[in-house]
A = this chain, B = another copy of it.
Amino acid sequence: MSPQSLEQFLHHEIPLSRAMQVMAVDVSAESVQLSAPLAPNLNHHATVFGGSSCALAMLAAWSLLHVRLRVSFPSASIVIQGQSMRYSRPILGTFAARALLAEPAEWPAFVRLLKRRGRARITVASTLDYAGSAAGHFSGDFVAFVGL
């Protein structure tokens, strides 16, 4: 999936990603990187609103699962069950979120379970980056479903 296709998909299906001006920077089966500019994501301190950075981290994490599942499970639904986030420093400009599987070794068991039971759970980690270093960490638990 190209960054352009992912970006179009997000903007079309999730209007908030359009309001946030989310851009897809890098898309592969290993990681997805999204970015967003400061202006639509400002808070009253003229830094990035924590709700925006959390949403970007969540979109990157969801997108990684979408990219990895779309060939073998084109009808899979991927739903967030829970997440946690730590913010380590204020973000004063364009920021990015890079998502990776929290435990890549768990992927084969996740896929086996999804095939066998039509439902499986996995954790995705996203790191927020600003000006070349980490500004926060997100961990999201997702459940994938397929029609049986």
Which A residues lie at the B interface, using CB under 8 A? 9, 13-16, 19-20, 39-45, 49-52, 54-56, 58-59, 77, 79-87, 90
Contacts and interface: CB of A to CB of B under 8 A. Distances in A.
The count of identical subunits is 2
Contacts of A50: 58, 80, 83
Contacts of A39: 15
Contacts of A55: 49, 51-52, 54-55
Contacts of A85: 82-84
Given A50-B58, A50-B80, A55-B54, A16 B19 contact: yes
A52 B79 CA distance: 14
B44 A15 contact: no
A45 B81 contact: no
B79 A16 contact: no
Contact of A82 (B19, B42, B45, B86): B86
A84 B138 CA distance: 10
B86 A81 contact: yes
A52 B87 contact: no
Contact of A84 (B20, B58, B77, B82): B82
Contacts of A80: 50, 87
Q: Which residue of A9, A51, A52, A80 has the most chain B CB atoms within 10 A of its CB atom? A: A51
